[in-house]
Chain A
Amino acid sequence: MKVMLNTIFQRHWNPYVVLLIAGLLSALYFGLTSTVWAVTGEFTRLGGDILLLLGVNVSDWQYYEMVKLKGSTWNRPDGWIVWGMFIGALMMVLLSNSFKIRLPQQKRRYVQGFVGGIIAGFGARLALGCNLAAFFTGVPQFSLHSWIFIIATGIGTFFGAKLTKMLWWKGRPSLARGAAQPSKVKARVIQPYLGAAIAIAYIGLMVYFFATGQKLLGLGALFGLAFGILIERGQICFTSAFRDLFLVGRSLMAKAIIVGMAASSVLTLIVISIYDLNPITQIAALSTFVGGVLFGLGIVMASGCETGMMYRLMEGQVLFLPVFVGNIIGATLLAYAWDHLGIYNVLVKSGAKINLLDAIGPVGAILSTLAMLGMLYALTVYRERNYHRHFELKRAAK
């Protein structure tokens, strides 16, 4: 029992296992609700809610018509995906006694997080999805826009990683001579009790949703919770998948994400054919590429994407408060610019919704998707080896 508790709460879970489960759950969620695991659409709606509260009439903004700004966030399944993720992450943080207010030593991080958050929020919504709907849950829907988005995110992240390495950006660490004392550990442990209380209250809420016939809200709350638990325990970080490959030749997260997407693609195809569902296809256009590059750059500047930001904030990493605010501002700015500043006409209008299932049939779609993922995997391994070969040479020359 103690061993099991230790494995669940004291250690972080293997990212491969976590992303496999997340990939399978998101296919299942699609089968049950015909929507996908996504977060930034809801961030845009939250921005709309706030503007409405401030007396700004957004009802005629085209973007809000498209993403269906209706009711409050508590009455939207997508809303409960977001809040469920926050609560699931917080629950696990508390149960594992790992909450701590963490204030960055480098004050510049707050500015970097805020600006990066705005760019990432703007880019994600321009491309119609973040690392989820245009990436992790977009590829399994066979929507071509997610292929463009992945390439573009890679490019954006590459420049972000270059920026991260500059001294004025990263700042000097506090390297001191000699040994230093670690923090004193508090003897009284109360976090797990708080975590358990939140878990019980949340289960009550889900029971209420299902008992009162609000099935979609209940499913949103349930799957949101599961995704929140998974990303926190697995420390799933899409930002690091590309970035760390460029920075230090680290490949773990990229490989795990690719494996998770492959499993999710296969299961989604099965779900689509059994239940005869329509896959969710977004417009592939110049906006997808531009949005992806901005998103890639923004998430590295902010040190986290719209998903990773959520559990880090719950861990007490204060840096991610300005990132969250930035994400919502960026998404809302895009919603405004969509029709008011002509972004739709310039970048989106000429595009088309292309789904591989319609274009080349189910067999072609799954084979080409798996081939594309296989190629990404090979590139990841190549980059990792290349990095370490160069590093060895540099070390030997020293």
Chain B
Amino acid sequence: MQTHKEADFTLDLRGESCPYPVIYTLEALEGMKKGELLQVITDCPGSFRNVPEEAIAHGYTFAQEPVKNGQEYLFYIYA
């Protein structure tokens, strides 16, 4: 899987349970400059759905499709 652009920041949320992945992701995006790329690594099954859906609902865009990596997911989101 080729990423189009190197991520500017990485949020490693492995081990954290809901709702913290969503809260952390939205806060991180809010603190970044527009156009910067955030990589999110998460393994809470609930977050596989609520992180991407809420990122989009809050007006952020995805740089690429989510990547399923074993028991975790990788998201690439533009702030």
Contact A177 B41 (CB under 8 A): no
A176 at interface, CB cutoff 8 A:
yes
A contact residues, range? 35 or more
Which residues in A have their C-beta under 8 angstroms from that of B8? 177-178
Which residues in A have their C-beta under 8 angstroms from that of B28? 173, 175
A263 at interface, CB cutoff 8 A:
no
Among B1-27, those with CB < 8 Å from A are: 3, 6-20, 22-24, 26-27
Residues of B near any A CB (own CB < 8 A)? 3, 6-20, 22-24, 26-28, 39, 41, 43-46, 48-50, 53-54, 57-59, 67, 69-72, 74
Contact B59 A395 (CB under 8 A): yes
Contact B39 A179 (CB under 8 A): yes
Whole-angstrom CA separation of A104 from B12 in the bound complex: 11
Whole-angstrom CA separation of A165 from B64 in the bound complex: 29
Q: Given A175-B11, A303-B18, A303-B19, check contact A183 B69 (CB 8 Å).
A: yes
Residues of A near any B CB (own CB < 8 A)? 12, 97-100, 102-106, 109, 164-165, 170, 173-180, 182-183, 185-186, 235, 237, 240, 243-244, 247-250, 252, 303-304, 312, 315, 317, 319-320, 388, 391-392, 395
Contact B20 A170 (CB under 8 A): yes
CB closest chain-A residue, reference B76: A179
A120 to chain B, nearest CB (A): 15
Whole-angstrom CA separation of A105 from B8 in the bound complex: 22
Which residues in B have their C-beta under 8 angstroms from that of A100? 43, 70-72
In order of increasing CB-CB distance, the 3 nearest A-B pairs are A185-B70, A100-B71, A173-B24
